[in-house]
Structure 1
Amino acid sequence: MKYASAVCAAFTAILLSTTASAQSGTIKSIRLSSGGVAEYVRSLNVGDDGNAVVEVPTDQMDDFLKTLVVSGPASVKGLSTTGPGMIGETFKALPIKPQDLDSAAGVLRALRGAPVSANGVKGRIVGVEPPTEKQRARLIVLLDSGAFDVAEIGGAMTYKLDDPKDAEMVSRAAELLSSDGVQGTRTVTIALDGKASAAVDISYVVAAPLWKPSYRIIVDAKGKARLQAWAVLENASGEDWQGVSVSLTSGRPVTLRQRLYARIWPQRVEVPAAYLDVAGLDVASAKRGMVGGALLNKETAEAPAPVMAAPATTVIAAADEGDVVANFDLPGTYNLKNGETISVPILDHEIGAEFVALYRDGAQHPDAALVLTNDTATSLPPAVAAVYDEKGRYVGDARIGNMKPGGVETATFAADQKIDQEMATTTSSAFRTIVVKDGYLDATLERRMRKTFTAWGADADRKFVAEDAAMAGWELVPSEGVEETPQGARATVVVPAGKKVSTTIEWRMVENETQAIADIDDTVILQWLDESPSPDIAKKLQGLVTARTAQKEAERDLSTVMQAIEDATSESSRISGMLASVGDTPLKQQFLQDLTEQEKSIKTLRAQRDEARVRLEELRKELGEAIARL
């Protein structure tokens, strides 16, 4: 008997029988942060059972569990949702697998042995023949009569699972796959305890695209500018916004991730199974001994260390300055479809602004720049600004850094080719104090670095600004026209038409140095002598140098005499040797005369040596006194 197959229609009905998605309430407000997160506030309906239900995208579950806050008089008993491994754990207990639901043949093959009805014929599923090039897959059914029925799977044939448990199992499998694979969300049930109203507000923080600011700066001729700030934001929440209040925050919040929803299995130490001999005794334990027939050895695994989770004014918007962030509350509410992007004005305010020529390191010409003063009451987030002159003409783009209220920043937007520039650096050093105590010299040295910036060639009076970054250990030397900035220093000077004007930024650094006087080289002392801030110290240092010079000369004189004595003694020994070898000859008298002269010379040199030693000792004493006088 040949059956028309309608199995696909039957299992489509099963898939459509899944539980409807829970209502997620309505989004009331959203606060987008420059840290890449958004705070959502939702209003959820509370059921008669005291539960509120919300659908959460699976990839947001970690953040949802980390940040959920419930508002209202009722207390929270807890929340529940499908675990990350629930799908796999459920299918472990089922004969049917997710891939089996891809086709009718797969379902029937997985339910081998189950009772089934097909167009009035009842029996049990024996198996499914795989398809061939000439025919479809065929179902083999064992009829109640004991006969086999074989029919192709497909067409309009309808099958019915006669055992309600089998039908419920397939329905459950389809429901699990629908909630996991189709929707990509998790249904979270929040259980409330106490006096709960018909609705409750929840808030949570999840990942979101950055909102992006941009500026328009229109400069007038009076040192002011109109600053317009706009915000570009996107609805990437996965659902449409209807009547949603939107706020923007600018700052640098710490935003962390933690795997709270993901399944984490800690690592444990694996201990090998104990070896048992043929008598059934643990050999290792038996060697250690037994008490009352009980083995003393009990293998235990070391407790594993816990595993860390993977890292994890006209104001358009109502702006206010928080402790660590700036807030912009957009007026009204917004309707925005999922995936749409909008740009809205958030600030329109007059600020201080002045065109200047800004020194550019290594370039022939300075940059055209704006010196901006944040006259608003709100920190301005970093962004790109389109700059327009007093006639409304676009002149370039500038990068604006984070500006706190009252802050000043210089922003470049073009090259100023009408002015030439140069910079020269000079350095110097001088001692502030020199103190000698207990044979050590303590010196305080002040180093200075002067950077001179020069500009010329202006066709009209122009302001020339030079900025220099601060260096570790250096401090700014106050001077007219130079101001300290958070980044370093800024010098400002007016360059008249056709004139050449310079301005200087000077830095200083104080160093302390301690050395043993006996170890200091004379050249270093002479350097300190030239830079000494005290005439008295300079005089004493000069006396020290003189004493050390005399001592070194005496040491050289003594060394010369000692070498002469050594040479004379050697010559005397040579003559004595020659005298012994010549015997009683005319040369003997000559050698005797030479030997006598050498002895006289040695005697004289020894006297000079003794005098040099005395002189050296006196000079050493004088050097010690010179050091003591310091």
Structure 2
Amino acid sequence: MKKVELYKNGMGYFEHLGTVMGEQDVEIALPSLQLNDVLKSLTVLDLGHGRIGGVNYDSIAPLDRRLSEIPVDFASQTSLVGILNQIRGSRIEVQTPAGIVAGRLLGAEMKNAGIGPGAAVQEIHLSVYTAASEIQIVRLESAGALKFTEPGLAADLGRYLDAVNSTHQRDVRRLRIKTIGTGERQIHVSYTSESPIWKTTYRIILEPKQKPLLQGWAIVDNTTPMDWLDVTLTLTAGAPISFVQELSRPVYARRPVVPLPQGIQAYPQTHEGMIESAEQERSQEKQEGMQQFQGDRLSIGRTRLMEAPAPPAADAVAAAELRFSDAMRRQEFETAQAGAVAEQFEYRIKQPVTIRRNESALLPIIHSEMGGEKVAVYRGEESERNPRLAFWLKNSSGLALDAGPVTVIDSDSFAGEGLIGTLQPGESRILSYAVDLGTEISTSRESERRRVEQIVINHGTMRMYSKLVEKKIYKIRNNNDAARTVVIEHPVRPRWTLVGTAPVESSSNYYRFRVEASPKSTTDFAVLEELPQESSFAVSSITPDQIAVWVRDRFIERETEKALQAITGKKSEIDALNGRLQALEREQSEIFKDQERVRGNMQRLTQSPEEASLRRRYISQLEEQENRLAAIRTERAALESTLSSTQKDLDTHIRNLTLNKKL
């Protein structure tokens, strides 16, 4: 391990550099959970004249499945005798004091061997069928070595042992990189994998008449299965996009099941015999033409095959691979030289770092004097009476500061703790760390509505623009023996704007005002804000009473009053005309109702002389009513004509009325 770069998104970039000789394999151990990340990002370069043959790693298949792929069932036996009996018939060689016994294994068994009176031990005896058609019994205890000469048997046993051994290290996976080449060469390996997020902590040392001192430390955890010995460590406060994908798990695609085509059932038919006709001759000529056409197609195909370019030579492929490797090396070199990219910033530890596996370290990243001052901060929206002691920090270190906790030491004493966000060079930030018990702040509100400042009449709508002014008073009581600089954080409200005193600083949510509070005294500080308000009225619906109220409250001036009164005057004329029309309609309805009564009475009268006078009276009454109805119709027509012209005049007046008056 030569280089480690840790990121704030929980990822790490690791580089290894080592030397290989010939076709030596390189092994790298890593946690099982990181295998997917490594498979996604692994880069291996042979910096000499060799090449990389491939990378193997332990399978994640269950042990039972891996053991089932081994021809010999070694797992069912735990003793040597049992394992030897599993390979009966295999070729073996046994080295004995008398020489080498070679042949096929017939079996193995345990036999008792007496040692002293009443004592016995067990020995393993092998039965070997030799090439001389002899069965020799070999005591394994006296043998020097047992060798499997059966082809593939030793490899199967090795696979079994590797599979069993991998279960003892479930959390560790090993990558085996195969190298191809001659001589001594350097191999470069890099990859990204999940890593604990590195953290930052700060200390601010405050002393009278001295500049504040900021000290920053990074907490780094080595959870990899290997030691970091003199590595180049870089801590990047960026969050590149990263994700997890199950690359180490075998994935099988689902394929559709296509049924086999069923044969066409053909039924026997009988056909009539016929002589050869002209149509058969034309059909034969057509078939000959098709054969010639197919021959042309075949010849064209052969021509194209002959014209196809030959595959590239092995030297050309090797040259292409060399150019690609050079490009990768150049890209890696340029990226390393680039340092911080875009919004990311990094801390490069100057000295090599050593962190043992499963250990953590606290590494210094900054030690610099800073600009700033001690203040008391009060956030106006909170119900607390006491402000917070704070340090108004200005990042004059020239470095970006990552977010983290801060411990404040004031005059060699612990003063408190706080949190800061990411701080760019030259940026200021307030760090509150304790409660100021010597200062109390209370608030009160006053609000008033200012008179209308502007009136706009257009397209039949009148808009009044006014402002609501609110005053918030901060009453600061400084009970300390020394003067106190109080920073008031007044909340920013949508659509409200400040009036008068400008803040010394603004954030997205607060205005910050600096107030100097004298010792043992009370200081008032007022913040004025105004809210624009708009009221809309349809000009046609404005009443004389509304105009009177607006004039009384001085919302409108004389010109606007006259324009509105002209409209209300026209509306009064229209209302009078409508009233007269409604009265005529009521009178006409009453006449119609009375005429129905009279006609009903006339129908009930007889032709007698006694009722003749009453009939004449009814006829006279009907005549008078008809005359009145005629007069009503004449008057209604005149009123409707006058109403129509008056309404048109009003609509035209409203439509043409335009006014923009600032008061």
TM-score of the aligned structures, taking structure 1 as reference length: 0.68
Contact 2:376 2:436 in 1 (8 A): no
Contact 2:375 2:486 in 1 (8 A): no
Residue in 1 that maps onto 2:257: 271
Deviation readout 1:273-292 (Å, 9 max, x if unpaired): 236369699xxxxxxxxxx9
Contact 2:27 2:174 in 1 (8 A): no
Percent of residue pairs identical: 17
Deviation readout 1:560-598 (Å, 9 max, x if unpaired): 543443333223323332343355178667756765665
SS in 2 for 1:81: strand
CA shift for structure 1 position 426 = 5.5
Q: Establish whether residue 629 from structure 1 lines up as the match of residue 657 from structure 2.
A: yes
Deviates further, 364-373 or 603-612: 603-612
SS in 1 for 2:343: coil
Cα separation, 2, equivalents of 1:247 and 1:471: 43
Residue in 1 that maps onto 2:312: none
Question: Which of 352, 359, 362 is residue 372 of structure 2 equivalent to?
Answer: 352
Question: Which of 317, 342, 361 is residue 381 of structure 2 equivalent to?
Answer: 361
Map 1:357-396 → 2, pairs under 5 A = 357-370=377-390, 371-389=392-410, 391-396=411-416
Partner AA of 2:637 in structure 1? D
Contact 1:95 1:111 in 2 (8 A): no
Partner AA of 1:488 in structure 2? N
Cα separation, 2, equivalents of 1:533 and 1:105: 114
Larger-gyration structure (1/2): 2
Deviation readout 1:381-428 (Å, 9 max, x if unpaired): 111222344x34333321211122222323333444531323648597
Cα separation, 2, equivalents of 1:246 and 1:125: 60
Residue in 2 that maps onto 1:562: 585
Q: Establish whether residue 328 from structure 1 lines up as the match of residue 355 from structure 2.
A: no
Question: Which of 328, 352, 359 is residue 340 of structure 1 equivalent to?
Answer: 359
Question: Which of 459, 463, 466 is residue 479 of structure 2 equivalent to?
Answer: 459
Partner AA of 1:55 in structure 2? I
SS in 2 for 1:612: helix
Cα separation, 1, equivalents of 2:227 and 2:584: 106
Residue in 1 that maps onto 2:21: 47
Contact 2:46 2:52 in 1 (8 A): no
Deviation readout 1:413-444 (Å, 9 max, x if unpaired): 344453132364859797868473xx576979
CA shift for structure 1 position 363 = 0.7
Distance 1:43 1:276, change over 3 A: same
CA shift for structure 1 position 210 = 1.0
Distance 1:260 1:617, change over 3 A: same
Cα separation, 1, equivalents of 2:346 and 2:200: 13
Q: Establish whether residue 617 from structure 1 lines up as the match of residue 644 from structure 2.
A: yes
Contact 2:217 2:364 in 1 (8 A): yes
CA shift for structure 1 position 338 = 0.9
CA shift for structure 1 position 199 = 2.5
Cα separation, 1, equivalents of 2:576 and 2:147: 122
Question: Which of 158, 179, 197 is residue 171 of structure 1 equivalent to?
Answer: 158
SS in 1 for 2:160: helix
Contact 1:67 1:205 in 2 (8 A): yes
Q: Establish whether residue 575 from structure 1 lines up as the match of residue 549 from structure 2.
A: no
Distance 1:262 1:87, change over 3 A: closer
Contact 2:67 2:75 in 1 (8 A): no
Partner AA of 2:10 in structure 1? G
Partner AA of 1:332 in structure 2? Q
Map 1:267-306 → 2, pairs under 5 A = 267-268=254-255, 270-274=256-260, 276=262
Deviation readout 1:66-95 (Å, 9 max, x if unpaired): 444567865885561225659789756422
Contact 1:31 1:39 in 2 (8 A): yes
Partner AA of 1:455 in structure 2? K
Contact 1:453 1:466 in 2 (8 A): no
Contact 1:87 1:176 in 2 (8 A): no
Residue in 1 that maps onto 2:11: 37
Cα separation, 2, equivalents of 1:447 and 1:190: 80
Partner AA of 1:408 in structure 2? S
Contact 2:4 2:234 in 1 (8 A): yes
Contact 1:434 1:537 in 2 (8 A): no
Residue in 2 that maps onto 1:315: none
Cα separation, 2, equivalents of 1:40 and 1:127: 54
Deviation readout 1:516-561 (Å, 9 max, x if unpaired): x79x8649x9899999999867765665565456545644553454
Distance 1:335 1:441, change over 3 A: same
Cα separation, 1, equivalents of 2:583 and 2:74: 105
Q: Establish whether residue 248 from structure 1 lines up as the match of residue 221 from structure 2.
A: no
Residue in 1 that maps onto 2:224: 237
Q: Establish whether residue 205 from structure 1 lines up as the match of residue 203 from structure 2.
A: no
Contact 1:463 1:492 in 2 (8 A): no
Distance 1:114 1:367, change over 3 A: farther
Map 1:43-82 → 2, pairs under 5 A = 43-49=17-23, 53-57=26-30, 58-69=32-43, 78=52, 80-82=54-56
Cα separation, 2, equivalents of 1:66 and 1:444: 66
Deviation readout 1:462-492 (Å, 9 max, x if unpaired): 44434355567x4754742325534234131
Contact 1:84 1:262 in 2 (8 A): no
Deviation readout 1:130-159 (Å, 9 max, x if unpaired): xxxxxxxxx99998699x9xxxxxxx9x98
Residue in 1 that maps onto 2:332: none
Contact 1:179 1:186 in 2 (8 A): no
Partner AA of 1:189 in structure 2? K
Distance 1:590 1:533, change over 3 A: closer
Residue in 2 that maps onto 1:398: 418
Q: Establish whether residue 411 from structure 1 lines up as the match of residue 431 from structure 2.
A: yes
Contact 2:57 2:174 in 1 (8 A): no
SS in 1 for 2:152: helix
Cα separation, 2, equivalents of 1:373 and 1:335: 33
SS in 2 for 1:616: helix
Cα separation, 1, equivalents of 2:647 and 2:573: 9
Distance 1:582 1:78, change over 3 A: farther
Contact 1:351 1:372 in 2 (8 A): yes
Deviation readout 1:236-263 (Å, 9 max, x if unpaired): 2221122223222223332333444443
Deviation readout 1:320-378 (Å, 9 max, x if unpaired): 97632222222322222111122233222323133223125241425404233222212
SS in 1 for 2:21: coil
Cα separation, 2, equivalents of 1:105 and 1:570: 129
Contact 2:395 2:424 in 1 (8 A): yes
Q: Establish whether residue 187 from structure 1 lines up as the match of residue 173 from structure 2.
A: no
Map 1:397-546 → 2, pairs under 5 A = 397-417=417-437, 418-422=439-443, 424=445, 434=456, 436=458, 439=459, 450=470, 452-460=472-480, 461-468=483-490, 474=495, 476-477=497-498, 479-483=500-504, 485-494=506-515, 495-496=517-518, 497-504=520-527, 506=529, 522=542, 540=563, 543-544=566-567
Cα separation, 1, equivalents of 2:83 and 2:554: 98
Distance 1:114 1:593, change over 3 A: farther
Question: Which of 46, 71, 78 is residue 95 of structure 1 equivalent to?
Answer: 71
Cα separation, 2, equivalents of 1:619 and 1:166: 117
Deviation readout 1:210-232 (Å, 9 max, x if unpaired): 11111223345679633222211
Cα separation, 1, equivalents of 2:49 and 2:642: 100
Contact 1:229 1:345 in 2 (8 A): yes
